[in-house]
Amino acid sequence: MRAQKWPIIAGSILLAFLPALAQDDGGYEIAPLNDHLYKLSIDGGGYTVKVLASVGDDGLLLVESGQGESAEKLKAALQTLTEAAPRIIINSHEHIEHIGGNAAFGDDPIVIGHARLLTGLRSGGHLFDEFPKATLPDVTFTDSMSIHFNGEEIKLIAFPGGHSDNDIIVWFTGSKIVCVGAISNGRHFPSVDGYSGDVLQYAPVAKAVIDILPEDVTIMPGHGEEGTMAEFRAFHDMLVKTTATVKAGLDDGKDLEALKAVDVLKDWTSFEGSYVDRNGWLEYLVTGLRPAPAKKTVFEPMYYAWKDGGAEAAVTLYHDLKKTKADEYGFTEFELLAIAYKLYRRSLMPDAVIFFELCTQEFPKGTYTGHCYDYMGRAHEALGRKEQALKAYKACLEVMPDRAHAAERVDALSKE
């Protein structure tokens, strides 16, 4: 059972977690990198999601498979490059915008990833995803391995511990292109998995990657812009200096709010992006440098309660754990949102509504309250419950007045 190391940071994780309904209607854009490598990019809802395709005599190999909701668009884009189905899919780590499309290609592709990728997708919050076998890696490793495909050696090397505990890089040695997943976020602040990552290990991991790569490679992050080794070193330099700056402020007696008040990271505003702004990165660093005692998450006990007795049984267990084991488990808003949204994505709307309601009841003024009400409204609408949907959307607007989707639905439902 995974322990939660520190609170999830709201803005960046939410972008990674709720992408599906924020996408535009466009498909994947295709950019040739050389005679056999292609970058396929799509808007994931405020940030770019990338897939790299190797096309040649040996067939089709993918690095990442994008979001499940975009899988058909990915297939359509790939059909313009080759009629072949993927033989191999390599996943850089466990997050849904990297592995979400695996299952769309069926059981035939060989899926490769870190050994802890398999463990992670079968535990914690991912239990509620109930990923099919086709999503899970068939081949795993803990150190490194090589694949010879389409005329070049592709080196897969594990660098876990920073962004997540299952990060790898995928190095196309002949093409001089390195897919680094989330070990670098280009010229932007990165995010850190709150359950398996460690913000304090981000800089050492990035430095370890830099130390093995030649100067003439192109760095391809999963979300940020491609860059040079010089830009990767600048990213690492930012990690080192911002960590030192925040540590000095904490050692001087300042807390998070005091550090925000003096805008302690103002010298690194150029690294801001839609994914993480400087205050979001500051929160990562503060919680990493001054961590709360680790506690178990409620994901696993609630999952098994849900499987055995349904959503109401899981809610009852949640309240029981709060009364009897508050010193053992953490009870965060994000965990309830995660459960609700995973069920929502799987179209299990009645259960999703119950968990969205639990989240708003437990955290009526939380970071995610407005999002819960919005998606609660969507779930009610899917169930044909117009009055409940209207009530949920109105509740959303009370805490998020600028939530465009909720405002549109209130207007539409009020006229029906």
Query: Which residues, including other chains, have CB under 8 Å from residue 248's CB and lie 6 or more apart?
Result: none
Q: What pLDDT was estimated at residue 209?
A: 98
Examine domains 3-242 and 295-415 and report if their fold is the same. Answer: no
Residue 318's Cβ-side half-sphere holds a number of Cα atoms within 13 Å equal to: 24
Is pLDDT above 90 for 24? no
87 vs 139: CA distance, rounded Å: 13
Q: What pLDDT was estimated at residue 270?
A: 96
Instruction: Identify the CATH homologous superfamily for domain 3-242.
Output: Ribonuclease Z/Hydroxyacylglutathione hydrolase-like (3.60.15.10)
Q: What pLDDT was estimated at residue 91?
A: 98
Rounded to whole angstroms, what are the CA distances from 348 to 22, 249, 276, 314?
A: 20, 46, 31, 15
Q: What is the pLDDT of residues 310-320, one digit of tens each?
A: 999 999 999 99
Q: Taking residues 183-210, report their average pLDDT.
A: 93
Is pLDDT above 90 for 23? no
pTM above threshold 0.75: yes
Q: What is the pLDDT of residues 88-141, one digit of tens each?
A: 999 999 999 999 999 999 999 999 999 999 999 999 999 999 999 999 999 999
Is pLDDT above 60 for 29? yes
Is pLDDT above 50 for 11? no
**CATH of region 295-415:** 1.25.40.10
Q: What pLDDT was estimated at residue 30?
A: 97
User: Which region among 1-15, 23-37, 82-96 has the lowest average model confidence (pLDDT)?
Assistant: 1-15
**How does the average pLDDT of the chain come out, rounded?**
92
Q: What pLDDT was estimated at residue 123?
A: 93
Q: What pLDDT was estimated at residue 9?
A: 43
Is pLDDT above 90 for 274? no
Q: What are the residue ranges spanned by the domains of the chain? A: 3-242, 295-415
Q: What pLDDT band is residue 2 in, cutting at 50, 70 and 90?
A: low
Q: What pLDDT band is residue 13 in, cutting at 50, 70 and 90?
A: very low
